[in-house]
Amino acid sequence: MYWSSLRLVIFTYFVMDFTLAREQILLDTRTALSDLGWPKSQASKWNEVTGDDENQNERRMHYVCQITQANQNNWLRTEYIKVDGARRIYIEVRFTIRSCEDVPNVATCKETFNLYYYETDRDEATTTFPPWREGAYIKVDTIAADQRFGPGSDKEVNFEKRNIGPISKNGIYLAFRDDTGACVAIMHVKVYYKYCGETLMNLASFSRTVSGPQITSLVEARGSCVRNAGDGRYPSLHCDGEGNWTVPTGTCVCTAGYEPNFSRTQCKACARNHYKSKVKNLPCQRCPAYSSASNQGATVCDCMNGYFRAPSDTADQPCTKPPTKVVNLYSVVNQTSVNLNWERPLNEGGRDDLTYSVQCYRCQSGFVACVACSEPADYQPRMSGLTTTQVFVHNLRSYAFYRFKITATNAVTNVAVASGEQPHNYAIVNVETNQAAPSAVLNVRSSEAGSTYVMLRWDAPSSINGNILDYEVTVNPSRSQITLQHLANGKLPASVSRTNRTTNHGKLWYSLTRREFQVRARTMAGFGPYSQPIKIRTLDGTTSTPTHQTNSHTSDPDILHLTIAIGAGVILVIATVVIAVIIMRYIAYLHLLLILEFILSNFGRKSMILNITYIDPTTYEDPQRAVSEFTKEIDASFIKIEQVIGAGEFGEVCRGRLQMTNKNETDVAIKTLKSGYSTQQKLDFLGEASIMGQFDHPNVIRLEGVVTKSRPLMIITEFMENGSLDVFLRNHDNGFTVIQLVGILRNIAAGMKYLSDMGYVHRDLAARNILVNAQLICKVSDFGMSRVLEEDSDAAYTARGGKIPIRWTAPEAFTYRKFTSASDVWSYGIVMWEVMSYGERPYWGMSNRDVMNAVETGYRLPAPMDCPQVQHRLMLECWKKDRNQRPKFGQIVSSLDKMLRDPSQLKAKANDDDATSGTNVEDASISPVEEWLARNGFLKFRDNFQRSGCICMEQIQKLTHSDIDRMGITSSEDQDRLIAALQEDVPDIPNYGEACR
């Protein structure tokens, strides 16, 4: 109870110390125990007496009352007052003054007196120095009374407070002067200065600090970190002119094992079974699972017996243990191959980095005397580092005894073994192989060759794997024996290839010129692999009928082969036209072979010529998986937020600095997710990051990374110094050449071509979503249009719900929600118009409904002022109603490149003649009347004007209320708006009278 009370008292003291100003008293006449003895000028009438104050307490005071004599000059001076280093001094005076109204026989009478001071570094005053005159002293003020007393009335006490400064010397004298004949009594004088007292704040102690020389002064005081704290950001407080601590900046940081207390005045040690591993002002955390801390101030919790941490584990991760052995291990033997299967351990040790390894042992009969396997068996997928619960082992010996050990390990297994623990984390299975197919035969060769025969011989396989039943010899024709007719038919004739079997290690062949041979062995388990092909020919290259064949199981059909070949040759010689057709088919066949060879050679590998395709993050069942796959997590400590530069749909947009390990510090833009977000807002926020993370192009905003493991959630992108393109253009109206504007458009088109090639549809392409850096490079940004744009003032509801930016959206998109790359091309045309008009609002003051109706009926925006004709034609191409007729982004890039290579085509201005002539856009010819109606939001009245024959601006300029009423526009409000627009806007229409001529 005692210590609790003491802590409360200490806390209350520091809180009051920070909030209340302090005063250091230099002079207070109420504490005088004897005569004050203040000096006065020669012939001065000031008198020192003892009297009662307003509380009936005896006080030493001075009074003067020389109102019956003229020409008064009564001076009174205090003793020397040391200012103790203060630069501004406060003076309080309590006094009484008698009213001059009812005093008889008055020679001179005033109800004021004067206050002065004199600065000096030492006590040097005498009866004559400083001189008793106004020039020697500095006047503070003329003190007037608010309350005066008359005969028989109570003495009303006045209180006045003044301050002087800046003081530049060690001390002062105060002086009081009556030169008007006042009847005044000075009852109490108090002199003091203000200071900020010692305090503790932000884990730093601040010493006593005297306030500054001005009321508005802020004197900075640097703090010293408290015990168990180190410098974080330079801690400081500022002492204001009233002696109050204010404007705290920076803070000290508690070292590892210590946390700040509630009032942030000290760093206290972490309690038992708590820890703090980082030098940050974070609270201590309870020890993770299976760990503890027996002492206070722990920086890491020790693992309990039998539990461990891996070298890569951090202090906030729980302690874990090695896994137990795998369960249900079994084998499936197939000749000399074995399929090992098992199930995960019952206890995986609390980790998710479980792997398996396989060890092989060769045993004698009965699975005894086992030693490590020495034969080169094939393990699929591998022997160690397995994450699956299955492994295939091939090419074992037949009729052999094997023992396989499956060991389960995780990241703490080696740590446990190093500590002396022997984890029982393996299971064993015994395997006995049986007969298998043999390996390939060896050394196929020709041992004897004549003019019409060849003797073929070979050696037995190295691994027979049982008893050889026989050998199969396959004879294939050489390429010279394959005719054009064979290739034209797409297959080889059966008579050209032959297969025979023999039980010997040799075979005699007749009736051949040049052939390819392959041999394979067969056991009860089946055929082994073919040998490498060997080419052999007879000595004279002639052909004849075979006279002898050893152990042949099939007949030799050479006569049939020759007959077919001769017939094909006769046909080829006679039918020249047929030969030409066959040659063409042969070429096509070879071409097909090349294509197939290319496809097969690249099968299973990602082709370098294929573009990476955009993947919609919403297709992931777990959105966090998309974030981890497409983005890079950044530690929040690497990020320093410097300035809030805007607000987005999710939260604030800030400018900051990113300092990655071993990298230079860079400027970045930071989007934060506001607190209190909904689950859907979080998914949308992370979804935008998952989209951005898939893009890598110089004209698409680059994602640096995300912060998802701490709060607030952040998206970190490169910083674009010049902000959004629409604002940038408005701030630099007419500040660029046409070539520079075309370069800006080329940047945007290149970025959109990249996105389109990836299969991504932006759906919100507008100048506001294009960012500009310091080098005037433009980059496409804002990939959140899959969300509902709740806060977009340019959005309008569609039939199926949701909001879309009508002014930038293609008609099929806002009518049927058909968003494609072609609808992005429409939006790009609007962006072109924005760029060439320096950020003017598309369709001016028209409502969204008017814009939709106008676009559907064929209205298109006119060319901006001084816009090149070729530019406006490209815009109109982008605004084709049939989306299939709009150019692709690749074509747009090519068109802009031509403009940049040949600037002469930019000289013709669209305003010089009909900008839409020669184009194929629906209703592309825009009359001045339509332009004027569109500019003022009256396009809905276009049919009224046309039916009335009002087709030129000269006619419109003369319209009256009655004329407008006869058009069918009966609303008085609409009539007034039309008349007002005519009076204000008609002179701004160029050549408005030409259409009537």
> Left, alpha or beta for 510 (phi > 0: left; psi -120 to 50: alpha)?
beta
Exposed e or buried b for every residue in 387-418, given b needs 16+ CB within 10 A?
A: eebebebeebbbebbbbbbbbbbbbbbebbee
HSE, CB side, 13 Å, CA atoms: give it for residue 775.
Answer: 6
43 is annotated as contributing to ligand binding: no
Q: What is d(CA 819, CA 809) in angstroms, rounded to the nearest whole number?
A: 9
* Helices vs strands, H then E, count in the chain: 19, 49
Q: What is d(CA 517, CA 457) in angstroms, rounded to the nearest whole number?
A: 11
- What letter does residue 308 receive in the DSSP assignment? B
What is the enclosing helix (H) or strand (E) of 576?
helix 576-601
Task: Tell me the one-letter amino acid at 455.
Answer: M
653 is annotated as contributing to ligand binding: yes
Judge whether 140 and 162 are in contact, CB under 8 Å. yes
Q: What is d(CA 43, CA 179) in angstroms, rounded to the nearest whole number?
A: 13
723 is annotated as contributing to ligand binding: no
Return phi, psi of residue 979, to 5°: -60, -45
Q: How far apart are the first and last CA of the chain?
A: 102
List 47's β-bridge partners, or say none: 63
- Name the active-site residue from 313, 764, 794, 824: 764
Judge whether 172 and 123 are in contact, CB under 8 Å. no
**Nearest residue to 745 (alpha-carbon basis) of 830, 640, 835:** 835
Question: What tokens does 421 get?
Answer: 């623990």
Question: What tokens does 319 get?
Answer: 């302690």
Q: What is d(CA 524, CA 436) in angstroms, rounded to the nearest whole number?
A: 8
Question: What tokens does 462 get?
Answer: 């190295």
Radius of gyration of the chain (CA): 50
119 is annotated as contributing to ligand binding: no
Judge whether 291 and 303 are in contact, CB under 8 Å. yes
Helix (H, G, I), strand (E, B) or coil at 382: coil
Q: What is d(CA 863, CA 468) in angstroms, rounded to the nearest whole number?
A: 89
Instruction: Identify whether 764 is a catalytic site residue.
Output: yes
473 is annotated as contributing to ligand binding: no
Task: Tell me the one-letter amino acid at 957.
Answer: Q
241 is annotated as contributing to ligand binding: no
Angle at 50 between CA 93 and CA 175, to 5 degrees: 35
What is the enclosing helix (H) or strand (E) of 476?
strand 470-477
375 is annotated as contributing to ligand binding: no
437 is annotated as contributing to ligand binding: no
List 446's β-bridge partners, or say none: 456
Q: Strands 514-523 and 526-527, how do they pair?
A: antiparallel
**Nearest residue to 338 (alpha-carbon basis) of 387, 398, 288, 285:** 398
Residue written as tokens 């393109």?
Answer: 725
- What letter does residue 301 receive in the DSSP assignment? P
CA distances from 464 to 399, 521, 552 (A): 12, 9, 23
650 is annotated as contributing to ligand binding: yes
863 is annotated as contributing to ligand binding: no
What is the enclosing helix (H) or strand (E) of 990?
none
List 144's β-bridge partners, or say none: 112
**Nearest residue to 937 (alpha-carbon basis) of 806, 841, 846:** 846
Find out whether the peptide bond into 868 is cis, omega within 30 degrees of 0.
Answer: no
Question: What tokens does 23 get?
Answer: 């005063």
Q: What is d(CA 918, CA 914) in angstroms, rounded to the nearest whole number?
A: 9
**Nearest residue to 650 (alpha-carbon basis) of 629, 632, 670:** 670
Residue written as tokens 């009537």?
Answer: 996
Number of other CB atoms surrounding residue 514 within 10 Å: 14
Return phi, psi of residue 747, to 5°: -55, -50
Q: Which residues are annotated as a binding site for ATP?
A: 645-653, 671
Q: Which residues are annotated as a binding site?
A: 645-653, 671
**Residues annotated as catalytic (active site), given as ranges:** 764
